Amino acid sequence: MSNQHMGKAVPHDSAAKHVTGQAIYIDDIVLPAGHLHGYVSMSPKAHAQITSMDLSAVRTSPGVAAVISATDVPGAIDIGPVLPGDPVLADGWVEYAGQALFAVAAGTESEARAAAKRADITYDDLDAILDIETARAQGSYIVEPYAITVGDAQAALAKSANQLSGKLAIGGQDHFYLEGQVAVAMPGEDGDMLIYSSTQHPSELQHLVAKVLGKSSKDVTVEVRRMGGAFGGKETQAAPVACQAALLATATGRVVKVRLDRDDDMMATGKRHPFHVNWRVGFDADGVLDAAAFDYLADCGYSPDLSLAILDRALFHADNGYFLKNALIRGFACKTNKVSMTAFRGFGGPQGMLGIEAVIDDIARHLGIDRLDVTKRNLYGRDGTRDATPYGQRVEDNILPELIDQLEASSDYRQRRTEITAFNASHSHLKRGLALTPLKFGISFTATFLNQAGALVHVYNDGSIQLNHGGTEMGQGLNTKVAQVVADEFGVPLDAIKITATHTGKVPNTSATAASSGTDLNGMAARDAAQTIKARLAAFAAEQLGADGENLSYADGNVLIGEKTLTFAGFVRQAYMHRISLSASGFYATPKITYDPATRQGRPFFYYAYGAAVSEVVVDALTGEHRVLRADILHDAGRSLNPALDLGQIEGGYIQGLGWLTTEELWWDGEGNLKTHAPSTYKIPAAGDLPADFRVAFFQGENREDNIGRSKAVGEPPLMLASSAFFAIRDAVASVAGNRLNPSLDTPATPEKVLMAIEDIKQRRDTEQ
Amino acid sequence: MTKIRFLHRGEIREIHDPDPNLTVLRWLRENEGLTGTKEGCAEGDCGACTVVLGSLDAEDQLIYRAVNSCILLLPVLDGKQLIAIEDIGTPDDLHPVQDAMVASHGSQCGFCTPGFVASLFAEYHAEAPATDQRALAQSLAGNLCRCTGYRPILDAGLAALKTAGKDKFQARRADTISQLKAIERAGTLTTNYGGRSYSAPQTIEDLAALFEASPDAKLLAGGTDIGLEITKGRRSLDTIIYTGMVRDLTEVTTNETAITIGAAAPYTDAVPALTKDFPEASELFSRLGAVQVRNLGTLGGNIANASPIGDTPPVLIALSADLVLRQGKNERQIAIETFFTDYRQTVLRPGEFIARIIVPRRNQANLYGFYKLTKRFDQDISAVCGGFCLTVRDDVVTEARLAFGGMAATPKRGHTAEKMLIGQPWNGASADLAATALGDDFTPLSDFRASADYRRLSAQNLLRRFWLDTDPARDAQPTGVLDYV
Ligand SMILES: Cc1cc2nc3c(=O)[nH]c(=O)nc-3n(C[C@H](O)[C@H](O)[C@H](O)COP(=O)(O)OP(=O)(O)OC[C@H]3O[C@@H](n4cnc5c(N)ncnc54)[C@H](O)[C@@H]3O)c2cc1C
Ligand code: FES
Ligand code: FES
């Protein structure tokens, strides 16, 4: 197989459309005259019984075509993706401020909004649980607490030479995709529904729309050309607006668009789970862990959504890259009266890793050893020992020791450490900090059955190709990568291939484009489809052209058949004339993975992706302000399919992670109202937050598993590289008190949190003396 | 019936009595079907809706400025050129900044991209386009991207800006100028749409007369505060008087004793005069909003808005600025610190407006310091803002003005702390004394921007930081984290 495109820095297939404003998003679609705008009214209460809902004034408001509440839903009200718990419209009570109450369709959005204001709703307030600790105290859980265990943590702890405990509160994160949630519902004949949605999960959305309409999946079609960003926030969270639009379209027989403005989007839709991590560890004089006990408490919000899988993944990443001989890792899925927290790049993994990185940090300071040395001493082994994870999977390709050594050298870690120590000793209120953090991230959906994908490839008899697969394009460049795979299979230039919108009518029963799996799964499925067609072409060539089927080769727009060269177009034309089918579907199911949820043991992941980063920060001890001065990243993308797109994921992931850990603060008031619900109050990184010195490199290597092109998934893992910045801040804070005491610093490390941590550590230092 | 006239897509567009509450973004997307410009927030904070306005300056030179179309009201376009993403280039004919964006892989999901391209386009036509990462990051601080992490966008921008000024817009410059001259308006523009009226007077006399006659009208300057009343508050503004065309209100002049800033001069025009005398304020002003907001927003709007967290009042109080207020034919001059009476309350009478701000020139005996504390450095509202000015004679503080925003219901001086300093030498110990006294001056609130504790402590520390910044023995060592980048 020629390798014309795979491995090349091909630009995103929509790049020229992006930069000229010609890429079409849902809100840009020209809709037929007479279409309506839907607006969904939201609960002002965090927890209340709805005692009455009078919508008569809403109905008579100007421009209104339909008003629906739960009682008007023809099918099922619950649209929980895995477990029930998410009503499409409130059904008698509300469980978070921002929950959908009823929906209005009107000629314009402002008419719909104005109408909604006229609703007369009365409530009986109920007690609201607004934080993790209260939920735990009251035993308010989505499921009963559970644990992953290996060895005997309690016994080992008791015997350990050194013990430490600590806790870390980890903030949530809003996705802040630039394009908010939006869907258009177009009613057809027989009550069929065509949905244009900005969703990562067209198949689930199709299923849920059918469910609320009281129909089946065959009656509903979902199309997604592209999303204006998603990051996990459009895995399950795209469904409510699509279902509401479909209900309004059914009620009116007209096309309905529902689009959340930024504030509504941020108040109504799920976010990254806030976590509390409490830990107790035992370790030897070198800082090597003997035993670790972790409690991970996730704020799941009011409903299960994907929380269980997310908590699972947090627990699966409680080891990060470190060997835990004896571990007790407990998970608590706390139910609170907040929006239901959901998937977000990393899917619990980042919170899982942050816990043990705090442990490494504290051990290092406790023993007076550089955290890099404690990191290295605890890594998984490479020789078949110290390689079992707490859930029983073996770490077969542990490249972290090598990767970290390379980064340590290329970043001048040791020398900078010396310089920084000298700087901090000489400077009154500016303190610098440095940290290296590694990452190991498991690739595969932990629910094994989701690891499947389909594709559909049509070769037209002029030699052009239409490619469709079950994955969705959200900016990551999935379509480009899959096209690179197919172009190389057929030896044609990229512009011979048209990548079309994802469409449930073309590829059915797809999994969400999530878990970093988009290219792994869909690339393989598309290749399978292409190879099916190629097998038919080989048989045709053998039969009709007398060629040895094995000897067909495709390159540069030509097909080499034995000695003969035909153009690809000419060849497929001949095949067509001989009535050979030039269209095929492809399928892929990830091999090797098995996991038993009952024992919590198995091999949930096909492989691991690795990386490490060194961040250096400067902190102002008078104000708590801080800045990342330099970041060095070494990341493992296997044999990258497209280094330009992969670099984009790495850099974008780091900056997004930096936002999560430093500036992005979700702030709920005492009544459970989110007060940071727009960019004026919720601060994602801006261009100036890019480290002035930013050095990103790929680790040279390839995937030991037979993944597409020996590449590795790169969507989620880089987000966790930003933990290096958080621990660098912690390092700078600790330097205020001589680098001996462990700072109490939670995330996001806003200037306020940093200044308060500095005050706290100064006080502890002073009382100690 | 009146029509507004502006230049769009090479042609003069005329719109009869437009809805003055219609934003340029909605007009583009809904009325014109030009959907390349995106809405990411509808509050001026994300830049997805960025478009470029062309206008003529006092010397009839064409200047291009990036603005947020989501909070820009349509009639404000009168007399200007509007450039949206569709006009900058097409896939077959990419503008140099677009070409560079593709080559640098500067787009992922692409939703922020048209806004970045518009901002880069304006930068491409700037007098002195950015030449390094930090400067360009400043110019792009009003554009958020959630996907890329900005590096490829900054690379693209820096590459494209090397050839800045060489595009088809430059080639058409003379034509554009004559088209703009052709639509210049002589008198007051007045439009009526349903019950909504919009007037744009050109002289201070006309403005005064109009406002006196309808004191319930809303004055519109840059609209970066009141634009949000429409897009976020979802209120309708029925009578609007636009101040942006009033010559006397948009002038900025400096003489021997004072810098005089017209209340309706956008920051972009007003700030250079201030930072020339007071370079200590440069960082604060570069972090007030971002380019798009500073291209529209005004000092007059910031002051009249009377927000306790507005950035210019503490600065201006520290600088002993005066305001000239006008009502009808009468003008009165007051010290800015007497302007604010209570939470969002001012001394303005019905029909009275701020005409100009008078800032005394730099006094060499004075020490100045201006500070803004935020969660994110760029384009963020202050948790605490401090404007400080000390007069030190014969090594003793003779006058002190320590003004704060974010610490009380109004921008306010810390009189107790000031008193502590009078008669003292200015040193670290005095700064500590003043910091402690500040505790008696303010009882700040807790909210989502900061807790009361942080506000109090960081405000105190800003006085310490002020000492470090003004310490005569200070070596070249940086005192703030931004000095490092
Ligand atoms: C994204 C964004 C970021 C921002 N960042 C900051 C920031 O960092 N710091 C900060 O302080 N502010 C910030 N603001 C707020 C705003 O930009 C400023 O307050 C700005 O100075 C307002 O000026 P304007 O001309 O836009 O006022 P407008 O919105 O036009 O008017 C504001 C108010 O002042 C009145 N008014 C205007 N001119 C006069 C006059 N001459 N006489 C009497 N009344 C008048 C208006 O009627 C209105 O009530 C930000 C706003 C946005 C959208
Ligand atoms: S839409 Fe965000 S700034 Fe205008
Ligand atoms: S490319 Fe997606 S927000 Fe910038």
Q: How many CB pairs under 8 A join A and B?
A: 286
Tell whether A502 and A566 lie within a shared domain: yes
Would residue A141 count as lying in a domain?
A: no
Residue B47 CB–ligand 2 contact under 6 Å: yes
* Residues spanned by the domain of A311: 275-446+597-768
Provide the pLDDT confidence category of residue A2 given band limits of 50, 70 and 90.
Answer: very low
Tell whether A201 and A185 lie within a shared domain: yes
Sheet holding A452-459, edge to edge: A497-499, A465-469, A452-459, A583-589
Nearest CA in chain A to B156: A19
Tell whether A237 and A294 lie within a shared domain: no
pLDDT in tens, A131-165: 999 999 999 999 999 999 999 999 999 999 999 99
Q: Which helix (H) or strand (E) holds A367?
A: helix A349-367
Bridge partners of B53, per DSSP, are: B65, B82
Tell whether A346 and A432 lie within a shared domain: yes
Tell whether A182 and A245 lie within a shared domain: yes
Q: Are B309 and B382 in contact (CB under 8 A)?
A: yes
Provide the pLDDT confidence category of residue A247 given band limits of 50, 70 and 90.
Answer: very high
B23, B37, B39: which to mutate for ligand 2, most atoms within 8 A of CB?
Answer: B39
* Interchain CB contact of A33 with B (< 8 Å): no
Alpha helices (H) along A630-703: 643-662
Residue B157 CB–ligand 1 contact under 6 Å: no
Contact A21 B86 (CB under 8 A): yes
B228 CA: distance to closest CA in chain A (Å): 11
A 97-156 residues with CB < 8 A to B: 110, 113
Would residue A239 count as lying in a domain?
A: yes
Token pair 């057929």 is at which residue?
A: A490
Single pTM value for the model: 0.98
Q: Which helix (H) or strand (E) holds B452?
A: helix B452-470
**What are φ and ψ of residue A28, in 5° steps?**
-95, -10
Residue B217 CB–ligand 2 contact under 6 Å: no
Q: From the CA atom positions of chain A, what is the Rg in Å? A: 27
End-to-end C-alpha distance for chain A, whole angstroms? 71
pLDDT at A3 over 60: no
Would residue A1 count as lying in a domain?
A: no
A39 CA: distance to closest CA in chain B (Å): 14
Would residue A582 count as lying in a domain?
A: yes
**No. of helices (H) and no. of strands (E), chain B:** 19, 20
Taking alpha carbons only, the member of A321, A325, A377, A394 closest to residue A352 is A321
Neighbour tally for B279: CB within 10 Å: 12
* Confidence (pLDDT) at A382: 86
> Mean pLDDT across the stretch B257-274?
98
Instruction: Let me know if A713 is exposed, middle or buried by CB neighbors in 10 A (0-12, 13-18, 19+).
Output: buried
DSSP three-state, residue B331: strand
Tell whether A431 and A477 lie within a shared domain: no
Percent of chain B with pLDDT strictly greater than 90: 96
Q: Are A346 and A442 in contact (CB under 8 A)?
A: no
pLDDT in tens, A414-455: 999 999 999 999 998 999 999 999 999 999 999 999 999 999
pLDDT at A409 over 50: yes
Bridge partners of A38, per DSSP, are: A105, A258
Using the 3D structure, point to which of A268, A301, A326 is the last residue of a domain. A268
Q: DSSP letter at A217?
A: G
Cα distance between residue B28 and residue B70, in whole Å: 10
Tell whether A239 and A286 lie within a shared domain: no
For chain A, what is the mean pLDDT? Answer: 96
Q: Which residues contact A672 (CB under 8 A, 6 or more apart)?
A: A46, A47, A96, A97, A128, A130, A337, A338
Tell whether A493 and A428 lie within a shared domain: no
Cα distance between residue B67 and residue B291, in whole Å: 8
> Mean pLDDT across the stretch A328-337?
98
Contact A687 B136 (CB under 8 A): yes
Sheet holding B366-373, edge to edge: B366-373, B384-393, B396-405, B412-413
B52 alpha-carbon distance from chain centroid? 16
- Alpha-carbon separation of residue B291 from A439, B25, B65, B147, B295 (angstroms): 38, 18, 9, 21, 6
Taking alpha carbons only, the member of A611, A682, A617 closest to residue A651 is A611
Taking alpha carbons only, the member of B440, B428, B439, B410 closest to residue B464 is B428
Using the 3D structure, point to which of A250, A268, A286 is the last residue of a domain. A268
Amino acid at the residue A472: T
- Among the residue ranges A506-520, A710-724, B131-145, B278-292, the one predicted with the least confidence is A506-520
Triad B138, B143, B146: Cα angle to 5°: 120
**What are φ and ψ of residue A322, in 5° steps?**
-110, 145
Cα distance between residue B93 and residue B419, in whole Å: 65
Return the percent helix, strand and coil in chain B, to nearest 5: 35, 25, 40
* Interchain CB contact of A409 with B (< 8 Å): no
Instruction: Let me know if A440 is exposed, middle or buried by CB neighbors in 10 A (0-12, 13-18, 19+).
Output: buried
Percent of chain A with pLDDT strictly greater than 90: 96
Using the 3D structure, point to which of A226, A241, A268 is the last residue of a domain. A268
Q: Are A236 and A511 in contact (CB under 8 A)?
A: no
Q: What is the CATH number of the domain that holds A245?
A: 3.30.365.10
Q: Looking at chain B, how many residues does it have?
A: 485
Q: DSSP letter at B289?
A: S
Contact A178 B46 (CB under 8 A): yes
Return the percent helix, strand and coil in chain A, to nearest 5: 35, 25, 40
Would residue A665 count as lying in a domain?
A: yes
Provide the pLDDT confidence category of residue A1 given band limits of 50, 70 and 90.
Answer: very low
**Residues A702-711 as b or e (16 or more Cβ within 10 Å = b):** bbebebbbbb
Nearest CA in chain A to B48: A178
Q: How many domains does chain A have?
A: 3
Q: Which helix (H) or strand (E) holds A197?
A: strand A193-197
Tell whether A428 and A477 lie within a shared domain: no
Tell whether A605 and A706 lie within a shared domain: yes
pLDDT in tens, A587-646: 999 999 999 999 999 999 999 999 999 999 999 999 999 999 999 999 999 999 999 999
Active-site residue flag, A716: yes
Tell whether A532 and A570 lie within a shared domain: yes
Q: Looking at chain A, how many residues does it have?
A: 769
* Interchain CB contact of A17 with B (< 8 Å): yes
Percent of chain B with pLDDT strictly greater than 70: 100
In chain A, which residues have their Cβ closer than 8 Å to the Cβ of B86? 20-21
For chain B, what is the mean pLDDT? Answer: 96
* Confidence (pLDDT) at B485: 56
Cα distance between residue A320 and residue A322, in whole Å: 6
Provide the pLDDT confidence category of residue A384 given band limits of 50, 70 and 90.
Answer: confident
> Mean pLDDT across the stretch A646-662?
98
Which is the catalytic residue, given A716, A752, A759, A768? A716
Taking alpha carbons only, the member of A27, A683, A197 closest to residue B49 is A27
Give residue B286 CA to ligand 1 midpoint distance, Å.
16
Q: Which helix (H) or strand (E) holds B200?
A: strand B196-200
Tell whether A395 and A324 lie within a shared domain: yes
Alpha helices (H) along B297-376: 299-305, 312-318
Percent of chain A with pLDDT strictly greater than 70: 99
Q: Which helix (H) or strand (E) holds A57?
A: helix A56-59
pLDDT in tens, A504-535: 999 999 999 998 889 999 999 999 999 999 99
Q: DSSP letter at A298?
A: E
Residue B204 CB–ligand 1 contact under 6 Å: no
Residue B70 CB–ligand 2 contact under 6 Å: yes
Give residue A703 CA to ligand 1 midpoint distance, Å.
55
**Residues A627-636 as b or e (16 or more Cβ within 10 Å = b):** bbbbbbbbbb
* Interchain CB contact of A200 with B (< 8 Å): no
* Interchain CB contact of A179 with B (< 8 Å): yes
Q: Is the dihedral of CA A523, A525, A526, A530 positive or negative?
A: positive
Cis peptide before A685 (omega within 30 of 0): no
Would residue A149 count as lying in a domain?
A: no
Q: Are A128 and A337 in contact (CB under 8 A)?
A: yes
Q: Which helix (H) or strand (E) holds B210?
A: helix B204-213
Cα distance between residue B366 and residue B346, in whole Å: 29
To 10 degrees, the CA torsion angle through B274, B276, B279, B285?
40
Token pair 């330099």 is at which residue?
A: A630
* Confidence (pLDDT) at B269: 98
Q: Which residues contact B261 (CB under 8 A, 6 or more apart)?
A: B252, B270, B273, B274, B299, B356, B357, B358, B359
pLDDT at B428 over 70: yes
